[in-house]
Amino acid sequence: MSAGPVFSGQPGQTRTPLRVMDGRTWPALLATTLLVGASPALANEPAPAAATPASQIAATGTASQDYVGREEFEWVQKVLQAQQRKLAEQEEYLQQYSDMVKIQQEQLDSYVAQMKRLSAAVTPGSQTWPQEQPRFFRAVYKETPPPDGQQIAQVTGEVEKPLPEITIIRDKGGALLPQGQMVIEPSFSFTFSQVNRVEIAGFSLLPAILIGQFELTESRRNTFTVANTVRLGVTNDFEVELRVPYVFRDDEITSRPFGTGSAQDTTRALSDSNLGDIEFAGHYQINRGLNDWPIFIGNFRFKTRTGEDPFEVARDQNGQELELPTGSGFYSLQPSITAILPTDPAVLFANLSYTFNLERDVGGTFGDVDSGDVFGANFGAGIALNERTSISLGYEHSVVGKTEQNGSDVPGSDTLQVGSFLFGGSFRLNDRVSFNVTTSLGATEDAPDTEILVRIPISLSVF
């Protein structure tokens, strides 16, 4: 069965017959018509002028005499070219979507791998996240308006990256543990301080001329502290901490009295060891650090007086200690806030704290004693050298108030300025264990000369 003539053109125009080669021409013509109607740009394409008068079509009346004019062919060619450009644009947009989905899939695979490591960590020997390499994530997107008003979200390229370990603010509230993560952290510290002091019993006649007795005292104090700290991530934003120290003290005091005719030095050496003051702490992450804001962490620390009390150690008839205390003798409360600002490859930090040393009725000849409150601040930066190594630099300063006894300042008690430069380093041995070293160098007269702290955090998963 032969097909009848097919006419091109629009209503109101002279229609031109198109040659019907066979039955396959109808689907092709239908597809072209649909493509033209699907695109507003193609709908505006002007129809070709008539190439053959209608009288000629009526005269011939046979399909074999129909033909496709040149103008009709050019018009169809324009339609196809416009559609190809449209398809090329769509292909470009689809490629952008594909790239975005690929990046998001890589991030999802990373999350899944981390969850698998946590699920597998049911024994101490299982592989878990290292606590000392906590992760903070920020998804950054940029809205790019492509043609035709379409909106495609494009990832700008910022990917997850671990923060370098800030070893010098660990007890001030650093990056918190994820929920169910526990860290057992054995540590060892050595502190050395040397103080030269002149004690005077008399009066001054003229500047630099003393009347009476005075004594030159040189004190050397070595303190070794072995501690075990346990931290647990209760939620992703809240962490609790327990620290149990054991203190070894070795003091040597050399004195020479002047004005008594004695030229001999008197040396007293004392050594003692005992449990120190146990501490409890909580840390809470206040915000997520989005939009280039720092991460704020609130901290609260409570120190007991489980160590040997300085008011209860044995003394001789002159009131000098025969034993060395290992505790402060006062309960204390310390609220503080820490700010951490990631600025790749460094992390800036600052901390403000205030320690309330609770007044205590010691009894005996001491009465009520208030050792004075402490205002503290520190700041610095942690810098990642590579994926396993980081260093920290900073400064810490504390202002210690005067000691009061029965409501009055103790004679000779002054406000102390304790400042120290801080240098720290961290090396991740494996996924569970890190090795951290912190050195403190005294910057003021009242500060210890030097302190070295070694910590070995071991990460576990408990729930």
pLDDT digits (tens, 9 = 90+) for 141-197: 333 344 444 443 333 334 444 455 666 565 655 678 899 999 999 999 999 998 776
Of 20-29, 262-271, 316-325, 329-338, give the range with the top mean pLDDT. 329-338
The DSSP H or E segment spanning 257 is strand 238-258
* Residue 315, Ramachandran bin (φ over 0: left; ψ between -120 and 50: alpha; else beta): beta
Is 446 exposed, middle or buried (CB count within 10 Å of its CB: 0-12, 13-18, 19+)? middle
Question: Is residue 41 within 8 Å of residue 82, measured between CB atoms?
Answer: yes
Lowest average pLDDT, out of 50-54, 164-168, 182-186, 451-455, goes to 50-54
Q: What is the pLDDT of residue 3?
A: 46
Q: What is the pLDDT of residue 57?
A: 45
Question: Is residue 451 within 8 Å of residue 191, measured between CB atoms?
Answer: yes
Q: What is the pLDDT of residue 15?
A: 46
Q: pTM of whole model > 0.85?
A: no
Picking from 288, 289, 302, 281, the residue whose alpha carbon sits closest to that of residue 237 is: 288
Half-sphere exposure of 167 (CA within 13 A, CB side): 29
29: its two tokens: 């013509």
- Comparing 11 with 279, the larger pLDDT belongs to 279
The answer for residues whose C-beta is within 8 angstroms of residue 418's C-beta and 6 or more apart is: 397, 398, 399, 400, 444, 446, 447
How far apart CA 173 and CA 339 sit, in angstroms, is: 9
pLDDT digits (tens, 9 = 90+) for 316-348: 877 778 889 999 999 999 999 999 998 878 889
pLDDT digits (tens, 9 = 90+) for 394-421: 999 999 999 888 888 887 778 999 999 9
71 pLDDT band, cuts 50/70/90, is confident
Q: What is the pLDDT of residue 175?
A: 74
Q: What is the pLDDT of residue 164?
A: 54
The size of the chain, in residues, is 463
Question: Is residue 322 within 8 Å of residue 300, measured between CB atoms?
Answer: no
- Comparing 352 with 36, the larger pLDDT belongs to 352
Q: How far is residue 21 CA from its own chain's centroid?
A: 73
- Comparing 430 with 108, the larger pLDDT belongs to 430
How far apart CA 381 and CA 220 sit, in angstroms, is: 32
At residue 380, φ and ψ (nearest 5 deg) are: 165, -155
Q: What is the pLDDT of residue 255?
A: 76
- Averaged pLDDT, 263-282: 89
300 pLDDT band, cuts 50/70/90, is very high
Q: What is the pLDDT of residue 362?
A: 86
Task: Count the Cβ atoms, other than its own, within 10 Å of residue 323.
Answer: 16
